[in-house]
Structures are given as structure tokens and as C-alpha cells.
Structure 1
Amino acid sequence: MEWAYLTLAGLFEMIGVVMINRLHAQRNWQSLVYLLAGFGGSFLFLALAMRTLPMGTAYAIWTGIGASGGAILGMIFYGEPKDWKRLLFIAMVLGSAVGIKLIS
């Protein structure tokens, strides 16, 4: 169950990151609520995952999902560059997260 919590934490982290961009574009209370909910959910599920997972493992995977997911969502929704080198390194981050899971 801790890996499911960690995955949810990463997904909520992605929501929080996208909401930072939305808050800059649309300064309204809805954007702020979504931002707080995204990061709040992220920290909640990270804390639940860390009940059983080592801190280093949980943090590495959480940041990997959040950073990679944020970069991918930036490409999809905000027109950020999609060149092959960027995609390669995002895949390496995600591959590292999977590798940590496999050896844990």
C-alpha cells in the first residue's frame, strides 16, 4: 500500500506544480485552493508512504515523479520544448524511480 501512497503523492505533486503556473496566469482563489490541495495531498500521501518506506527511497521517487510529471505536463499544456534529449533525460529519471522500486 505504501507504493500506492507514494504514487499518489507524486501525482498530487504534479497537480501542485501545474497549479503554480495557473496561479501566476489567473490570480483567483480557485487557483490558490487547487494549489494548496495539490501540495497538501502530496505531503499527506508522502507522509503515509514514509510510515514504512525509508525516507531516502520515498523522497527520491516522490521527487522523480513530481519533476518528470511536471516537465511532461509543461510540454503538453504550456508548449515547453519537446526535443529528444529532454525526453531522454525525463525517461532516465522515471527509469531510476522504477529501479529504486525494484531493488527496495
Structure 2
Amino acid sequence: MQWVYLVVAGLFEVCWAIGLKYSQGFTKLIPSVLTIIGMIASFYFLSLALNDIPLGNAYAIWTGIGTVGTVILGIVLFKEAVDLTRLICIGFIIVGIVGLKLVGSH
């Protein structure tokens, strides 16, 4: 169950990172409130995952999910640049996430 918590924590990290963009420096009320809720939820689920997953693995995977998700949504929502080098680097992050999951399973 801790791995589910970690994935949920990572998805909430994506939510609050994207929310920061929409909150425009916490000047927009609704996006700001949703961003703060996303932050709290992300840290809460990360704390649950840490009950069984080593800290280093959990933190790296949590930030990896957040990074990959934020880059993808940045491309989709904000028309950020897409180039081969960027996609290769995101691929390396995904490989790292999968590798840490496999190592964390032993």
C-alpha cells in the first residue's frame, strides 16, 4: 500500500506545482487554495509511504513523479518547448524511478 501512497503523493506534487503557475504568485484565491491543499495532500501521502519505503528511494521517486508529470503538463498546458534532448532526459528520470522501485522492493 505504501507504493500507492507514494504514487498519489507524486501526483499531488504535480497538482501543486501546476497550481503555483495558475496562482500567479498566490495572488489568485482559488488556485492558491487548491495549490496549498495539493501541497498538504502530497506531504501527507509521502509521510504514509515513508512508513515502509526507504527515505532516499521514496524522496527520489516522489520528486521524479513530480518532475515528469510537471514537464508533461507544462508541454500540454503551457506550450513549453519539446525537443529530443528534453524527452531523453525525462526518459532517464523514468528509468531511474523504475530502477528505484525495483531496488526498493528487495
Structure 1 stretches of at least 4 aligned residues deviating more than 4 Å after TM superposition: none
**1:24-39 alignment to 2 at 5 Å?**
24=24, 27-39=27-39
Secondary structure of 2:53's aligned partner: coil
In structure 1, distance between residues paired with 2:52 and 2:61: 14
AA aligned to 1:77 is L
TM-score (norm 1): 0.95
Deviation (angstroms), 1:68 = 1.3
Structure 1 residue runs of 5 or longer lacking an equivalent are none
AA aligned to 2:2 is E
In structure 1, the residue matched to 2:74 is: 74
TM-score (norm 2): 0.93
Deviation (angstroms), 1:28 = 2.2
Structure 2 residue runs of 5 or longer lacking an equivalent are none
**1:2-81 alignment to 2 at 5 Å?**
2-24=2-24, 27-81=27-81
**What's the C-alpha RMSD, in Å, of the aligned pairs?**
1.3
